[in-house]
Structure 1
Amino acid sequence: MEFRQIQYFLSLYDEGSMTKAASRLNVVQPALSMQLAKLESELGQQLFIRSTRGMEPTPAGRQMYKLFRPVMGDFARARELLMQTDGELSGHVSIGLIATVAQDLLAGAVTEFSEAHPRVTLSLSDGYTPALCQAVTEGLLDAAIINQPRRKLALNSHPVLSEDFVLATGLRHAPLSETVALRQATALKLVLPTRLHGLRDILESFAQVEGVELSPALEVDSMNALLQLVEMGSYATLLPRIAVRSRVEEGTLLAHTIVEPPLVRHVVCVTHPRRALSPAASAFIAMLEQHAQSRTATSPTTPVRP
């Protein structure tokens, strides 16, 4: 088994197409096919099945990917460390974020970081907390910004930000005071994320402690769709302040502070305990944290209803 063959295998797995993988590797397709055939012959197992949808990995292929992706990630990080002799950051960074953080922070952080470190390439994805933790565990992500789970993780974690939940309403919603009790909020016509979403899990835990029940009229996981529904006027929602901040600033939503009790979520950054972050990854995470803390420190108050 050669290093080049593993590189070819991983590229083919990621791309799902012989044509795309060959283009990514800058090799001709026959060379890629030949190396794959040699690898399958040595292992005595078929790694892909050709179909109309492209190259479908077999169970053996999926197992090999799970085993070798972290190894290649470690190799890439080690190579980056050795090559950074001029003090300028370089290499590839792969970070996952929960959607409520990504939608408000990502554009600004990426723009500032890319201008400062043009030799670093970024791969950024959003998702649910469990899936992001799994990707860090398997070496598919360098790190992830997630809601702090209630259960103990096998990953290293450090705090990024703490922020309150607010009750968000549209401008045409029935008037409410600037502060709202949780029990009062749960009596409204709510649209909330589904139980697959980490935010819903946090809200359910608060509701359980207070002895109230969350019975949303509608469940939507897409933040954009959820907020658009609230803007239309008939629905209200409970979300972290950062998730509604931009629309409050634009004047399309009102944010009411939750009291009795105040609802606070904690966001953390998780990394693998046995995989050191590259300098580039550490720098980008620091940039994200700086933007997160800056945004939460200047959270807007509820605008005056026009």
Structure 2
Amino acid sequence: MDLKQIQYFIALFEDGSVTRAARRLNIVQPALSMQISKLETELGQVLFERGPHGMTPTDAARLMYRLYTPIMRDVENARVQLSRQDVIVTGRVSLGMVASETESVLAGSLAKFNALFPQVEVSVADGFSAQLIDGVEAGRLDAAIINKPRGRLSLDMQPLLIEEMVYVTGLKCSIDLPAAIDLAHPPDVELVLPTRRNGLRGVLDAMLMAANIVMKPTFEIDLLSTIVQFVEQSNVATILPRVVVQRKVDEGTLRAHKIASPPILRQIVQVSHPKRPIGPAAQALIDIIADEIRRVTTGVTPG
């Protein structure tokens, strides 16, 4: 088994078709089929079931994909890092992000990244922080941008930025609220918050507990875009990171009130596997995303 065979296998596994995989690899179909057959003979395993609708991976193929994808990513990262800096950066970046950032700044960040690194393929997964940590540990993700976890991690962790969370209401809110809110004496408005599975809720609950404050939401929803729409269309309030709501605030459909006491701050960090250093392309994408968050929340474009 050599690296080329593994590369061919991964392309066929992801594309599900000899035709598409061969086109992606820029080789003829018989060459791809021959290498996959040699690989199956060497392993003593059938990797794909041939059918009228393409190539269906077997359980052995799924296991091989999970085991070898991180290895190939490490090989590519090593190749890029060992190359001269004036060589065009290529390869693939697989990044995880908490939903609050994907919904807010991902599209703009990807546009900027693609303009700088047009030869790099990017895959982004969103989810809860715990899910993304699992993805980095398993090698499915190069790195992840998450809320700083309260417990200790076996991963490398680097701080990116500290972001304030704000008290948010819509135009239908029937109470005239001050510019700054004291959560020890909260407004008489029903709350909608993320569920306790969500890292944002963990940050909020931990800071309220430290201030001996208990807040019981009337509604709990994990989909942040739904929370924003709900607040926009009804007489409820929420507490979310400013980056999530800033666009609606700028449009005038939501109002963001500073939380004066206790200030609710969440720390965004990047995590990566200590044995799989982040490649230059992945780090560049993370830096662009962090700059985009700062730009959205402060109105200042980083230098």
TM-score, normalization: structure 2? 0.84
SS at the partner of 1:110?
A: helix
- 1:303 maps to what in 2? none
Output the CA distance in 2 between the equivalents of 1:286 and 1:278.
12
- Between 111-120 and 224-233, report the one with greater CA deviation: 111-120
Instruction: Indicate conservation of the 8 Å contact 1:181/1:261, yes or no.
Output: yes
SS at the partner of 1:124?
A: strand
Shift of the 134–84 alpha-carbon distance from structure 1 to 2, 3 Å rule, reads farther
- 2:189 maps to what in 1? 188
- 2:135 maps to what in 1? 135
- 1:70 maps to what in 2? 70
**C-alpha displacement of 1:87:** 5.1
Shift of the 42–295 alpha-carbon distance from structure 1 to 2, 3 Å rule, reads same
Shift of the 183–270 alpha-carbon distance from structure 1 to 2, 3 Å rule, reads same
Output the CA distance in 1 between the equivalents of 2:274 and 2:27.
36
Shift of the 164–44 alpha-carbon distance from structure 1 to 2, 3 Å rule, reads same
- 1:282 maps to what in 2? 283
- 1:219 maps to what in 2? 220
**C-alpha displacement of 1:163:** 1.4
- 1:272 maps to what in 2? 273
Output the CA distance in 2 between the equivalents of 1:9 and 1:46.
12
- Between 110-119 and 166-175, report the one with greater CA deviation: 110-119
Paired residue total? 299
Question: What's the CA shift string for 1:131-176, capped at 9, x where partnerless?
Answer: 2222222332222111101111111111111111111110111222
Question: What's the CA shift string for 1:23-58, capped at 9, x where partnerless?
Answer: 433456665455434333322334455789975654
Instruction: Indicate conservation of the 8 Å contact 2:94/2:123, yes or no.
Output: yes
**C-alpha displacement of 1:186:** 8.5
- 2:232 maps to what in 1? 231
After superposition, the CA RMSD in angstroms is: 2.9
Which amino acid in the other structure matches residue 157 of structure 2? S
The answer for unaligned runs of 5 or more in structure 1 is 300-306
Output the CA distance in 2 between the equivalents of 1:167 and 1:85.
46
Instruction: Indicate conservation of the 8 Å contact 2:73/2:92, yes or no.
Output: no
Tell me the percent identity: 43
- 1:302 maps to what in 2? none
Instruction: Indicate conservation of the 8 Å contact 1:186/1:213, yes or no.
Output: no
- 2:204 maps to what in 1? 203
Shift of the 290–17 alpha-carbon distance from structure 1 to 2, 3 Å rule, reads same
Which amino acid in the other structure matches residue 86 of structure 1? D
- Between 170-179 and 144-153, report the one with greater CA deviation: 170-179
Output the CA distance in 1 between the equivalents of 2:213 and 2:16.
48
SS at the partner of 1:275?
A: coil
Output the CA distance in 2 between the equivalents of 1:18 and 1:130.
36
**C-alpha displacement of 1:119:** 3.4
Output the CA distance in 2 between the equivalents of 1:201 and 1:44.
48
Determine whether 1:145 maps to 2:148: no
**C-alpha displacement of 1:20:** 4.5
Shift of the 72–87 alpha-carbon distance from structure 1 to 2, 3 Å rule, reads closer
Which amino acid in the other structure matches residue 295 of structure 1? V
Instruction: Indicate conservation of the 8 Å contact 1:186/1:215, yes or no.
Output: no
Instruction: Indicate conservation of the 8 Å contact 1:148/1:266, yes or no.
Output: yes
SS at the partner of 2:4?
A: helix
- Between 255-264 and 142-151, report the one with greater CA deviation: 255-264
Shift of the 190–32 alpha-carbon distance from structure 1 to 2, 3 Å rule, reads farther
Question: What's the CA shift string for 1:88-120, capped at 9, x where partnerless?
Answer: 544333322212122332233333333333333
**C-alpha displacement of 1:268:** 0.5
Output the CA distance in 2 between the equivalents of 1:140 and 1:84.
27
Output the CA distance in 2 between the equivalents of 1:284 and 1:138.
21
- Between 41-50 and 258-267, report the one with greater CA deviation: 41-50
SS at the partner of 1:190?
A: strand
Instruction: Indicate conservation of the 8 Å contact 2:189/2:235, yes or no.
Output: no
Which amino acid in the other structure matches residue 199 of structure 1? L
